Structures are given as structure tokens and as C-alpha cells.
Structure 1
Amino acid sequence: MKKGIVAALLFSSFLSHANPDADSILTSVRDRDDGHSYISDVELNLINSDGNVRARNMYMLQKDSDDKEMTYIYFYDSVDVRGVSFLMYTYPEQTGSADDQWLYLPAFRKIRRIGSNDKRGSFMGSTFSYYDLDKIRIGDYQSTVVGEEIIDGRETWVIEQIPSSQEVINKTGYHKVKRWVDKEREIFVRSDYFDAKEVLFKRQEAIEVEAVQGIWTITNARTINLVNDTSSEMIFNNLEYNVGLDNNKFSKRALKNGLKISSIKELIQGDEG
């Protein structure tokens, strides 16, 4: 898979040139080799301004197909979201096709398509937006390397991104983005998001990074809403790359059917190498 939700959140590769431009860095991040599939048992923690935590648990699956990357999420706990499922198709940027997202809410027994202007909304009550789960699109921004910094002992490139159109602003809610890219591991260690007045209102951070099957992987990502002092964490447990996953798991029919399993291991049909 070249890039998916662990999206927004998982990045690795190596910059082979000393002073790349911003688009080269972002392209390398987006297109790095990270296997053809993965599964994970993910804990989504919603943290309010008093520090109280509400946990939601979900299975996350991703697989490459010939023309797209497919992501499926199924919430198996807590009670208020049990049975909710989410499906995303991510298309290569050069095709010009927008990513598709669908959400199934069992209480209404209906599949809802997430439109472009809905992607700035909260994903399941968290500080992550639907857009944050989307694919990095280089052409959405005019990007510039503005410096280098040490973040948590890691050398990083600092990249500033300005939306290329009002349509991008409408879709994302971001008027400027500033990113810190680990030079060696090529992960986003921090992303800052600014409003129309250039006020920082949201920050995403890589809290924990591990080498999983030789792939640098963000195993704990946190997003902070700096306006209301709330935050959310995605913690990836039992993550495994290059597993056998049935394509039928990545369909709108699968949204309604859900996952009737007791362990994520039951999803694996065999190692595809």
C-alpha cells in the first residue's frame, strides 16, 4: 500500500538527496513502500478538557487493489458505536479522482456517503476529521521547505503548505498547514493547522513510532483541538503487514454485514508474502 489511514498516520522511506524540495519530500512520504495490506486492533480515545477518557475500539483493515487502496473500519466497542463501519477508497492522485468515503450507522440501517464538504467534520466524535483519514494530495497545496528543526531528538524538514484553491479550504477547513518530517524515518512527527486568521487551532503528533516488520509505523497518533482543549488518540495494537485479506471485506455490502469475529486473527486468510 502506498498510503492509507495508518494515513494519515503511518509513513516510512528514505530521502536519497540532501536538499529536496517540499513536493519531493511529500511525494516520497506518500509513495513509500509499506506492503500491500495490513490489519490492526485500534483504540480510539476521546479525551475531554478535564482529562476524562472515553474509549472506542475498532478493527482497521487496508489492502491495495489494481486501481485503488481500500480501507475498512469496524467499531466493535463501545456500546454507543458498536456496529458502525466505515469504508474508504483512495485513488492515485494522478487520476484526479477524489477519494470515496462511506459510513454505515446500524441504528438507521443506511449507508451515508461522506461528501467532499463533509470531510472537515469530526470522525466519530474525535478531533480527527474525515479529511485527516484521507490521502496526501500534493496538488492541494503550494508547499515550501521553510527550515529544519530538531523535534524530540529527531532531525526534521519543516514544510509550510498553503491551499491551492478555495475548494481545498472548503474541503479541509485548513488555511495553512505546517509539517515536520523526520529526515531519516520520513514520518510526520507533527502537523499544525491554522485558520483564516493564521491562528493555530489544531495539532497532530506522532506519540509513538515503532519498526513493525521493518516498516517505520506510527503506533500512537494524537490530535489536539487547541480551541476547546480536547484531544484524541489512535493507538494501533497487534498491527501486522502483508496479510491475506478478502476483497469482499472492502465493499458497501460489508459495511452492513459488519465483522462477526472474536479476534482480529480470524481475518487473516494466509500470508501473501
Structure 2
Amino acid sequence: MKKGILAILLFSSFLSHAAPDADSILTAVRDRDDGYSYVSDVELNLINSDGDVRPRNMYMLQKDSDDKEMTYIYFYDSVDVRGVSFLMYTYPEQTGNADDQWLYLPAFRKIRRIGSNDKRGSFMGSTFSYYDMDKIRVSDYQSTVIGEETINGRDTWVIVQTPASQDVINKTGYHKVTRWVDKERDIFVRSEYFDAKDVLFKRQEAVEVEAIQGIWTVTNAKTVNLVNNTSSEMIFNNLEYNVGLDNKKFSKRALKNGLKISSIKEVIQGDEG
């Protein structure tokens, strides 16, 4: 009996040394270097069950300020969404402040705030949700490292997450999440999402990862709805980090004004100092 107890203790000790704490891994993902700003010309491709592709093109801008991270998206192509814009403020998790999101629909000339329980909805008709656009909030889940696995040649930690509260389920629609975290790059290689019956219904993968200006960057992210066999991909083109961006680009006024430019380079200003 004593040998059995000793074996369990030794095995537990081995696991504790073999893998970092799950929250530490996820915090490293959330806080990894992504520059103080970036711009990109992004393709959002909506793919139906027959494989037909409906492209939507958007400019994406992101910038850090003193108390938040700001993201602005402007759809400049595709008749049904042209002129639509999206603004998001992401606050440091330790503040406890929920992220803010707003959507401007030119047909109605109105700015709509995306409430917490609306974030599980589809982002612009895609298989990405509004919640998927947020940075990960580690405290939303109780997370455990369950093992290691090699995915597409990358060594990863495998982490299972269960929502910390019913509010998180209401906000996300996810009852369990399994994530594969690249050990070296601190990025999600794959995420799988489960419903209340523990059925896998959505999978997200980093299809392409590149080092841009020394920063590991997911340049192609794909999300598949396994229920209806639709999918969406975001492909980031002409991405540039640490550029000068005017704070006025990240305001509610900017939502209505849009971006009257012919190239993403036109929003870049000189060094901010």
C-alpha cells in the first residue's frame, strides 16, 4: 500500500515538473509580444458547405493606449457590407472590465453596441463569433494541462478549459474548450469548442504562421462549423507592426466616417515618439 501511495506521489511530482501551470501558459499567450500597433489588409472568406467562397475585404488597425488595446475594422469591399465598421476596446484582464465592442451599419446610420450576451453571435456572417475577436480572458475558465501533442510539426501543450461561471457560457456559447498551445511561439495552434452535451461543434486552427518583424503572427486563421460544414478564414496581408496611428482612428466618430483610402499604407503616420 505504501509503495502504491509513493508511486502516485512520484507521478504527481513528475507531472508538476513536466508542464507549467495552465493559467501561466494561457497568460503567456494573451500577453505575448504583438507590437504597440499594427495595420493589415484582411480577407474574410465565407465558405459554404458546397465549398463556394464569398470574399469580404477589410482594413484592420490595432493600437495600444495607456489603459486599453484598441481595434478598428473597416469593410471596403463586397456590396452587402461595404462601409460597415467595427470598433473594440480590450482592457487589461486584471481591471475586471469587460471588453467593449461597437458596430456601425451605414444602411441604418446607427452605431450598435455589442452586449456581452450578443458576443456569441456570428461576426459579419462568418463562423467567427464576436467573442472570438476578443483577446482570451484567462479568468473566464478553469484550465488544466492534460498532456502534450505534436500538431503540424509543432510541440504543443494540450489544455482543457471549463467555464468559470454561467455568465461565461451565456457570453460565449462554449461549455468546454480544448486548446493546443505552441510551446515556442505562445500561440493557439488549434482550439475546439463543445456544447452542453459535450459535442464538438466548432474548430479553429492557425493555418499559417509567419515571423513578421520578429513577431510570430497568425496570417491565416480558419474556423469550421462542424454542424453545418461551413467555414471562414481570415487572411492577413500587408501586415506591418509598430506604425504610427492617430488615436482618432479608434473613436465612435471614426466608425461613421470610415476609411477613405486606397491602400492600408495611407493610414500610417510618422513615428509617434
Instruction: Give the TM-score band, short-chain normalised.
Output: over 0.9
Which residue in the other structure is 1:182 paired with? 182
1:19 deviation in Å?
Answer: 2.5
Question: Match for residue 145 of structure 1?
Answer: 145
Residue pairs, 1:72-87, within 5 angstroms: 72-87=72-87
Cα displacement string for residues 125-166 of structure 1 (whole angstroms, at most 9, x for unaligned residues): 000000000121111000000000010111100000000000
Which one has a larger percent helix, Structure 1 or Structure 2? Answer: 2
- Residue 58 in structure 1 maps to residue 58 in structure 2: yes
Of the two, which has the highest radius of gyration?
2
- Cα deviation digits, residues 217-266 of structure 1 (max 9, x gap): 00000000000000000000000000000000000000000000111110
Alpha-carbon distance in structure 1 between the residues aligned to 2:68 and 2:44: 26
**1:205 aligns to what?**
205
* Residue correspondence of structure 1 range 44-123 to structure 2 within 5 A: 44-123=44-123
**Structure 1-normalised TM-score?**
0.93
Cα pair 1:242 1:272 within 8 Å, conserved: no
Whichever residue aligns with residue 115 of structure 1, its letter is G
TM-score by length of 2: 0.93
Look up the SS of the partner of 2:61 in the other structure: strand
**Structure 2 match to 1:243:** 243
**Shift, 1:33, TM fit:** 2.0
- One-letter amino acid matched to 1:117: N
Distance in 1 of aligned mates of 2:180 and 2:115: 29
Tell me the residue number matched to 2:191.
Answer: 191
Change (3 A) 1:18 1:267: farther
Percentage of pairs with the same residue: 88
Partner of 1:9: none
Cα separation, 2, equivalents of 1:164 and 1:110: 34
The number of residue pairs the alignment matches comes to: 257
**What is the letter of the counterpart of residue 176 of structure 1?**
K
Q: Cα deviation per residue 1:72-129 (whole Å; 9 max; x = unaligned)?
A: 0000001110000000000011111000000000000000000000000000000000
**Offset of 1:18 from its aligned partner?**
5.9
C-alpha RMSD of the superposition: 1.0
Aligned mates of 2:263, 2:270 — CA distance in 1:
15
